[in-house]
C-alpha cells in the first residue's frame, strides 16, 4: 500500500531493481563527478542516498533540491561504493513536490538545541532525534496493547469529559458550554450549571481509574490507554498538563498480584522496544554519549541500552514506605542536610528522595508500598493498622515515580468514610459506591505515565520532548 518505504527497501533490496521513492531531502552534496541527495521518509533512521550525474538535470532544478524539500525520485537500485550504505539509487527522474527555501526553512543540517526545536513542534518530527523518539513511542504503545491483549485484558474506553475528580486533588480543567462572560445565574447569584450542556459542572478527566474499576467489576481484567489532563504546575521536566496514561484494573488481584503485574508489564514493553527499535535506540545512545562528552567520566550516565537491559534483567526492589523512610532518615545526604526537603514518617516523598533510593541506595527500580493514608487517594484500601493504605509506587532511575497504583477499598462503609473524610459529596460518587454494595470484590490497578516510560526508554531529559505536541503552561500554539 502506498509507495515502498525506505525501511523496506533497505531490508529487501535487490540490485538492479527499479524504485520510486517519495521522501524529504536531508542533505545534498555536489562533487565533480556526482550529486548526492540523502533522502528520508521517516520510516527509519537511515537515509537512502540518491545519485545524479552532473549535467543530468538543469541547474534550475538542482538549485531547488535543498534540505527540507520533498521529492519523488525514480531510478535503479545499485550497489553503493561509498561507505555507510550498501545500496543507493541511480536517479532517472526527479519530481519536486515541494521546495523549502534555505533562507527560511529553520531545520538546516546542523545541530539544533532541544529548546529551539520545541518552538517549532510542527517541524521537529523531521529531525533524526524526534523521528526516532516518535517511532519508539509508537512501538511502546503497540507493545502495551499487545501485552494486555495477550494476557486476557479488555481495552475499555473511559470518558474524557467527566463530572468526577478521580484523584480528589482538584487539579481539573473545567469544560463548559456556558457563555462565561455572561453565565446564567440561580436565585442566589451562583452560576447555574443546570443550564450547562451536561446539566452540571464537568471537567477533563485526570484519570480513567474510577470508570476502569466499573469495567473490572464486570469483565475481570481491563485496561485503559488514553489522554489525561492535570491543571497542576507542570513546569518540571517530568510533568505535562496533557499526558497519556495506561491504567489496568483487575478484579481478584491483591497488592502483591498488582506489583507482579506492574513489574512484568513494564519489563515486557521495554524488552519489546529493545527488540524492535534497535536502530533508533542505537542512534539515541550515540546522541546521549555525544552530549555527555564534556562531562567527567564518572558523571556520565550509563549507555542507554545497558540501562534498559539492566532494568529488564533484574528484579525490582520491594519495600514499604516505612522502611524507605528509615533508610532516608539514616542516609548520609540527610545527615549532611543535602536533601532540600525534610523527610520523616508521614511526609510525601519528593523526587530527590525517590531518586536517592533508586539511584544511590538500591541502584535499581524500587516498588514502595503501604504509604500513610493521609498522603494517598481516598480509594486505596486501608491496611489493618488503619494508618497506612495498600498503595504502590514504582520508582525508576532518572525519572522517579513512573507508576502509581493500589489495591482498592472494596468495603462500602470504609470507602464511604474515606469519601466523607476528604470532603467529596457521596452523591457525586453514588455510581462508584454502588459497586461496593452489589457484588463487591477485591480488586487492584495502577497507572503508568506513558510519557515517563518513553522518557526512560529514549533517555530524553525533558518530558516535553517525548510527546509530539506537548501541553505545558503557555504552550498551546496550535
Give the residues across from 404 on adjacent strands. Answer: 393, 447
Count CB-CB contacts under 10 A for residue 28. 19
- CB nearer to ligand 4AD: give 303 or 372: 372
Site map (CB under 6 A) of ligand 4AD, residues 18-57, x = contact: ----------------------------------------
For ligand 4AD, the binding residues in 207-226 under the rule CB under 6 A are 207, 209
Q: Which of residues 238-297 bind ligand 4AD (CB under 6 A)?
A: 239-240, 243, 245, 247
Distance CA 116, CA 459 (A): 19
Is 404 a residue that touches Mg ion (CB under 5 A)?
yes
Instruction: Sort strands 317-320 and 221-229 into parallel, antiparallel or unpaired.
Output: unpaired
Strands, DSSP E only, in 252-341?
Answer: 317-320
**Which residues, other chains included, contact 69 with Cβ-Cβ below 8 Å and sequence gap of 6+?**
24, 25, 96, 97, 98, 99, 100
Contact between 447 and ligand 4AD per CB under 6 A:
yes
Partner touching 221 among ligand 4AD, Mg ion, none, CB below 5 to 8 Å by kind: none
Cβ neighbors of 385 (< 8 A, separation 6 or more) are none
Residue 254, C-alpha cell as written in the block: 491483591
- Compare residues 226 and 404 and give the one whose CB is closer to Mg ion: 404
Binding residues for Mg ion, total number by CB under 5 A: 1
Residue 9: CB partners within 8 Å, gap ≥ 6? 19, 21, 48, 77, 87
Q: Should residue 404 be labelled a site residue for ligand 4AD when binding is judged by CB under 6 A?
A: yes
Q: Output the CA–CA distances (angstroms, integers) from residue 164 to 7, 244, 406, in the order listed.
A: 46, 18, 19
Nearer to Mg ion, 248 or 404 (CB): 404
Q: What is the closest distance, in whole angstroms, from the C-beta atom of residue 163 to ligand 4AD in the complex?
A: 16
For ligand 4AD, which stretch binds (CB under 6 A), given 31-39, 46-54, 354-362, 443-451? 443-451
How many residues bind ligand 4AD (CB under 6 A)? The answer is 23
Residues 6+ positions from 191 with CB-CB distance below 8 Å: 178, 183, 184, 185
Q: Which is nearer to ligand 4AD, 67 or 162 (CB)?
A: 162
Binding string to Mg ion for residues 357 to 396, with x set by CB under 5 A, is what? Answer: ----------------------------------------
> Judged by CB, which is closer to ligand 4AD: 56, or 351?
351
Shortest gap between Cβ of 445 and ligand 4AD (angstroms)? Answer: 5
Kindly state the cell numbers that stand for 441. 470484590
- Smallest gap from residue 377 Cβ to Mg ion (A): 8
When asked if residue 429 is in the footprint of ligand 4AD (CB under 6 A), the reply is no
Report the alpha-carbon distance of residue 263 to residue 267 in Å, rounded: 6
End-to-end CA distance of the chain: 31
65 binds, among Mg ion, ligand 4AD, none (CB under 5 to 8 A by kind): none
By the rule CB under 6 A, 401 interacts with ligand 4AD:
yes
Neighbours of 367 (CB within 10 A): 22
Binding status of residue 403 toward ligand 4AD by CB under 6 A? yes
Binding site for Mg ion (CB under 5 A): 404
Amino acid at each position: 500500500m502506498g509507495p515502498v518505504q525506505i525501511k523496506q527497501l533497505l531490508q529487501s533490496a535487490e540490485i538492479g531493481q527499479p524504485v520510486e521513492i517519495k521522501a524529504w531531502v536531508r542533505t545534498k552534496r555536489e562533487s565533480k563527478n556526482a550529486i548526492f541527495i540523502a533522502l528520508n521518509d521517516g520510516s527509519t533512521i537511515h537515509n537512502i542516498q540518491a545519485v545524479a550525474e552532473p549535467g543530468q538535470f538543469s541547474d534550475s532544478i538542482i538549485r531547488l533540491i535543498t534540505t527540507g524539500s520533498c521529492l519523488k525520485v525514480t531510478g535503479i537500485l545499485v550497489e553503493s561504493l561509498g561507505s555507510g550504505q550498501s545500496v543507493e539509487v541511480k536517479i532517472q527522474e526527479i519530481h519536486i513536490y515541494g521546495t523549502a527555501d534555505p533562507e527560511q526553512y529553520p531545520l538546516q543540517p546542523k545541530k539544533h538545541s532541544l529548546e529551539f526545536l520545541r518552538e517549532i513542534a510542527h517541524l521537529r518530527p523531521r529531525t533524526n532525534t524526534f523521528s526516532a523518539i516518535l517511532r519508539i513511542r509508537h512501538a511502546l504503545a503497540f507493545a502495551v496493547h499487545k501485552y494486555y491483549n495477550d494476557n486476557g485484558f479488555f481495552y475499555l474506553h473511559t470518558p474524557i469529559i467527566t463530572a468526577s475528580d478521580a484523584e480528589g486533588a482538584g487539579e481539573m480543567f473545567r469544560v463548559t458550554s456556558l457563555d462565561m462572560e455572561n453565565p446564567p445565574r440561580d436565585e442566589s447569584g451562583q452560576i447555574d450549571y443546570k443550564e450547562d450542556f451536561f446539566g452540571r459542572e464537568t471537567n477533563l478527566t485526570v484519570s480513567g481509574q474510577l470508570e476502569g474499576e466499573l469495567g473490572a467489576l464486570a469483565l475481570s481484567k481491563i485496561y485503559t490507554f488514553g489522554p489525561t489532563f492535570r491543571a497542576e504546575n507542570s513546569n518540571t521536566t517530568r510533568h505535562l498538563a496533557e499526558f497519556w496514561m495506561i491504567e489496568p484494573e483487575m478484579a481478584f488481584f491483591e497488592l502483591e498480584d498488582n506489583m507482579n503485574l506492574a513489574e512484568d508489564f513494564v519489563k515486557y514493553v521495554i524488552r519489546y522496544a529493545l527488540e524492535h527499535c534497535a536502530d533508533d535506540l542505537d542512534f539515541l545512545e550515540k546522541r546521549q554519549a555525544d552530549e555527555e562528552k564534556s562531562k567527567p567520566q564518572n558523571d556520565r550516565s550509563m549507555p542507554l541500552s545497558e540501562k534498559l537491559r539492566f532494568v529488564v534483567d533484574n528484579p525490582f526492589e520491594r519495600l514499604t514506605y516505612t522502611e524507605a523512610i528509615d533508610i532516608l532518615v539514616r542516609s548520609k545526604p540527610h545527615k549532611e542536610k543535602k536533601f532540600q526537603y525534610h523527610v520523616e514518617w508521614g511526609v510525601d516523598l519528593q523526587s530527590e528522595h525517590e531518586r536517592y533510593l533508586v539511584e544511590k541506595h538500591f541502584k535499581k527500580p524500587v516498588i514502595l508500598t503501604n504509604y500513610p493514608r493521609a498522603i494517598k487517594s481516598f480509594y486505596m484500601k486501608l491496611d489493618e493498622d488503619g494508618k497506612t493504605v495498600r498503595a504502590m509506587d514504582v520508582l525508576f532511575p532518572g525519572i522517579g515515580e513512573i507508576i502509581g497504583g493500589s489495591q482498592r477499598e472494596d468495603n462500602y462503609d470504609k470507602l464511604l468514610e474515606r469519601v466523607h473524610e476528604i470532603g467529596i459529596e457521596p452523591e457525586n460518587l453514588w455510581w462508584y459506591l454502588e459497586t461496593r454494595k452489589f457484588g463487591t470484590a477485591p480488586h487492584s490497578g495502577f497507572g503508568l505515565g506513558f510519557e515517563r516510560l518513553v522518557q526512560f526508554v529514549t533517555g530524553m531529559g525533558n518530558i516535553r520532548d517525548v510527546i509530539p505536541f506537548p501541553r505545558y503552561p503557555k504552550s498551546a500554539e496550535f
